[in-house]
């Protein structure tokens, strides 16, 4: 195990904290493994004779304002425990006493996290349709959960949400950029001018995609857990749906370096299938979905720029995601196509 990674995990401090949180001294010593592929926060599997847990912590180095908020991730998962939204149980939530910055530890949920291949459970077209439907159904559960009923009434300010989101991601883009990208400037301008009326407010995940889910190991289409709630808040649920449309790549779409695709495989449902299921489950009008898809491209381009900047600064635990400049310009250009 790398000494550099040990500095990120701090087992001498985390071990006693876990032993106290679990009332199990077997957690005083453990091994750790970085889960590669995480583009924002860092995820580690922790293993001891007591079993397995998962540590979530911010990257090292300078952090952007309002990014990598472990307190929010832990809070929303604790609030949703016992609801219709499947989430891992929180074992330890710490404001900085253990690792020197906020982090949390959760249970490890059994199942499959899909990145660039599907498990054998999803070999048939029927199981792949079930996966798509379960994927959308779980998003609909998030969006139809009453925030007040689970203690999240104050989790965000839903009024004016999209307008603030456009400003927020324009700001995040400015903080990470290395050179001007006219397509992003124009996309941000058009979005700010065309913000649609918000139909309803809900819990918003903020980064809902297949590799932020744990699929049940034996029941096709059943989602065992929703992960990575860093960007969650209260706001317009269609921002989640627009981002889902970006992540769900078709056979004619260019791949995204940061999102390994499986949605283009034979038998997987189309974007139109997902939209139809979502509309039926939520009764939300999707007439303005093009705007939300344009915003998704804007947001993801800003996210990609931030990922690239952290990689170049060496604050992603040694992970390098390569040169994303061309892809970022392409994302902005395709976002303009939706407007």
What is the pLDDT, as a whole number, of residue 290? Answer: 98
What is the pLDDT, as a whole number, of residue 1? Answer: 46
Whole-angstrom distance, CA of residue 254 vs CA of residue 84 = 35
Does pTM top 0.85 for this prediction?
Answer: yes
Say if residue 177's pLDDT is above 90: no
Mean per-residue pLDDT of the chain: 91
CA atoms within 13 A on the CB side of 212: 23
What is the pLDDT, as a whole number, of residue 312? Answer: 65
pLDDT single digits (tens) 318-337: 555 567 889 999 999 999 99
Answer whether 296's CB lies under 8 Å from 242's CB: yes
| Equal CATH topology for 3-107 and 120-337 | no
Residue 26, class by beta-carbon neighbours within 10 Å (0-12 exposed, 13-18 middle, 19+ buried)? middle
Confidence band, pLDDT 50/70/90 cuts, at residue 94: very high
Alpha helices (H) in the chain, listed in sequence order = 3-9, 11-22, 70-80, 125-144, 161-176, 182-193, 238-247, 271-282, 289-313, 325-337
Whole-angstrom distance, CA of residue 249 vs CA of residue 247 = 6
What is the pLDDT, as a whole number, of residue 280? Answer: 97
Say if residue 64's pLDDT is above 60: no
pLDDT single digits (tens) 15-29: 999 999 999 999 999
The CATH number that domain 3-107 falls under is 3.30.200.20
Answer whether 294's CB lies under 8 Å from 191's CB: yes
Answer whether 37's CB lies under 8 Å from 316's CB: no
pLDDT single digits (tens) 213-235: 999 999 999 999 999 999 899 99
pLDDT single digits (tens) 259-311: 878 999 999 999 999 999 999 999 999 999 999 999 999 999 998 998 887 76
DSSP sequence for 149-204: GGT-TTS---TTHHHHHHHHHHHHHHHH-SS--HHHHHHHHHHHH-PPPP---EEE
φ, ψ of residue 254 in degrees (nearest 5) = -70, 140
Q: How many CB atoms are located within 10 Å of the residue 280 CB?
A: 11
Query: In angstroms, what is the C-alpha Rg of the chain?
Result: 20
> How much of the chain exceeds pLDDT 90, in percent?
77
Sign of CA pseudo-dihedral 199, 202, 206, 211: negative
The domain ranges of the chain are 3-107, 120-337
Fold of 120-337: Aminoglycoside 3'-phosphotransferase; Chain: A, domain 2 (3.90.1200)
Q: How many CB atoms are located within 10 Å of the residue 215 CB?
A: 24
Say if residue 165's pLDDT is above 70: yes
What is the pLDDT, as a whole number, of residue 282? Answer: 97
């Amino acid at each position: 195990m790398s000494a550099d990674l040990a500095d990120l995990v701090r087992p001498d401090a985390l071990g006693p904290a876990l032993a106290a949180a679990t009332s199990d001294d077997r957690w005083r010593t453990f091994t750790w493994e970085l889960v590669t592929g995480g583009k924002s926060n860092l995820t580690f599997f922790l293993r001891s004779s007591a079993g397995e847990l998962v540590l979530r912590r911010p990257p090292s180095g300078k952090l952007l304002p309002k990014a990598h908020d472990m307190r929010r991730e832990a809070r929303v998962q604790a609030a949703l425990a016992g609801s219709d939204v499947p989430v891992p149980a929180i074992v330890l939530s710490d404001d900085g006493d253990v690792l020197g910055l906020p982090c949390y530890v959760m249970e490890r949920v059994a199942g499959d996290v899909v990145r660039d291949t599907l498990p054998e459970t999803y070999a048939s077209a029927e199981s792949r349709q079930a996966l798509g439907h379960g994927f959308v159904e779980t998003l609909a559960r998030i969006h139809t959960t009453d925030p007040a009923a689970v203690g999240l009434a104050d989790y965000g300010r839903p009024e004016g949400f999209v307008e603030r989101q456009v400003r927020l991601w324009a700001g995040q883009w400015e903080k990470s950029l290395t050179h001007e990208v006219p397509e992003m400037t124009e996309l941000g301008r058009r979005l700010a001018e065309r913000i649609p009326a918000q139909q309803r407010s809900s819990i918003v995940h903020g980064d809902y995609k297949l590799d932020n889910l744990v699929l049940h190991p034996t029941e096709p289409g059943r989602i065992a857990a929703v992960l990575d709630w860093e960007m969650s808040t209260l706001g317009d649920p269609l921002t989640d749906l627009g981002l889902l449309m970006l992540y769900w790549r078709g056979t004619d779409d260019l791949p995204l370096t940061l999102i390994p695709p499986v949605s283009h495989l034979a038998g997987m449902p189309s974007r139109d299938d997902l939209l139809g299921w979502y509309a039926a489950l939520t009764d939300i009008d999707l007439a303005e979905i093009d705007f939300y898809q344009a915003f998704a491209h804007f947001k993801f381009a800003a996210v990609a720029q931030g990922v690239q900047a952290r990689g170049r600064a060496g604050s992603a635990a040694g992970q390098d995601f390569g040169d994303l400049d061309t892809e970022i310009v392409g994302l902005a250009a395709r976002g303009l196509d939706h407007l």
